[in-house]
Amino acid sequence: MIKLVGINKVYKAGDVPIYALRDVSLELPDGEFIAIIGPSGSGKSTLMNIIGCLDVPTSGKYSLDGVAVDTLGDNALATIRNRRIGFVFQSFNLLPRLTAIEQVEVPLTYRGASNRRKLARQALIDVGLGDRLHHRPTQLSGGQQQRVAIARAIVSRPSIILADEPTGALDSSTSTEIMRIFEALNHEMGMTIIFVTHEREVAGCTRRIIQLRDGQVVSDAATPAAAELSASVYLQESLVEEPSA
């Protein structure tokens, strides 16, 4: 559960304050599938950075799963990023020298987990890369690299996946594959997925679109697809649940 109340992010350009975000209030329940869209300079990256605990707001309240994040220090924010948030970037941001499985182990290393190899292998199998465990980024295609990045984001079982233009560097068929993975994560693992994108097509796959302009939320609505999706989810869930009920 993400709760933003009156978030402002102000940069100083000389004496003139520039508002990257102005009085943004949002409530994102668990299990949401959301797209944040807007033209460049609208503040969507800033919003994502704040939600991802990479940045702190100038003013306003941000609580993540009941924790008041805006009061936390550097180390506590690092722990939250490590355990509750998974990042997927447009440019993949894999570490150049590590093999796929080692990439996925990195967040577990910072957590100090013991069964890193096993968890990392499972995460890679989950994204369909069970046969590419020991390949380096340069030996993988763009779509495969992004899948490694997704595995890395989900390996610590975060409640939120933040994806910044995750398909921006991929061709359309690969994009579709990647979108399927996100949908599956949302459906099957119940992770909150937040896309930052300007591709309408990508945004259309989500259930809720938040539009930003000049640092303010200008619209926040369920997508048409969302109705169908939630219906299908409802159906699936009821199908699963029926025998036990």
Partner 1 sequence: MNPFDTIPIALRALAANKLRSSLTMLGIIIGVGAVIALMAAGQGAQKGITDRIRGLGSNLLFIRPGQPEDNKENNPVGGQVFTLVSTDADAINNPDRFPYVDSVAAQVFFEAPITSGGQSMQVNFTGVTPDYQFTRDHYVASGRFITDDDVTRKGLVAVLGPNVAENLFGDVDPIGRTARLTVGAFRIYFSFNFLIVGVMERRGATATGDEDDLVIIPLPTMQARIPYIRNPKGLSNVHQITVKISSSDKFGQAKEEIAALLRDRHGVTKDDFTIRSQEDLVATVSEVSQTLTILLGSIAGISLVVGGIGIMNIMLVSVTERTREIGIRKALGAKRRDILAQFMVEAITVTMLGGLTGILVGVMAARLADGQHVFGRDLQTAVTPLSIMIAFSVSAVIGLFFGIYPAYNASRLNPIEALRHE
CB of 171 to partner 1, least distance (A): 23
Contact status: 13 vs partner 1 (CB under 8 A): no
Radius of gyration of the chain (CA): 18
Residues 210-239 that bind partner 1 (CB under 8 A): none
- The nearest distance, CB 206 to partner 1, in angstroms, is 22
54 binds partner 1 (CB under 8 A): yes
30: left (phi over 0), alpha (psi -120 to 50) or beta: beta
Q: Which of 66, 96, 224, 243 binds partner 1 (CB under 8 A)?
A: 96
Q: Which CB sits closer to partner 1, 157 or 180?
A: 157
> Which residue type occupies 237?
E
Strand runs labelled E in the chain: 2-13, 16-28, 33-37, 59-64, 67-68, 85-88, 160-164, 192-196, 208-213, 216-222
Four-CA torsion 29, 34, 38, 41, nearest 10 degrees? 60
Spatial separation of the C-alpha atoms in residues 169 and 175, rounded to whole Å = 9
- Residue in the structure block whose two tokens are 């797209």: 35
Interface residue with partner 1 among 106, 189, 225, 233 (CB under 8 A) is 106
- Site residues for partner 1, 156-215, by CB under 8 A, read 156
- Considering only 20-28, 71-79, 200-208, 226-234, which stretch makes contact with partner 1 by CB under 8 A? 71-79
The one segment of 27-35, 102-110, 183-191, 202-210 that binds partner 1 by CB under 8 A: 102-110
Q: Is 58 in the site for partner 1 (CB under 8 A)?
A: no
Q: How many residues does the chain have?
A: 245
Helix locations, 14-99, DSSP H: 44-51, 74-84
Could you list the residues that contact partner 1 (CB under 8 A)?
A: 49, 52, 54-55, 74-75, 78-79, 81-83, 87, 89, 93-98, 106-107, 109-112, 152, 156
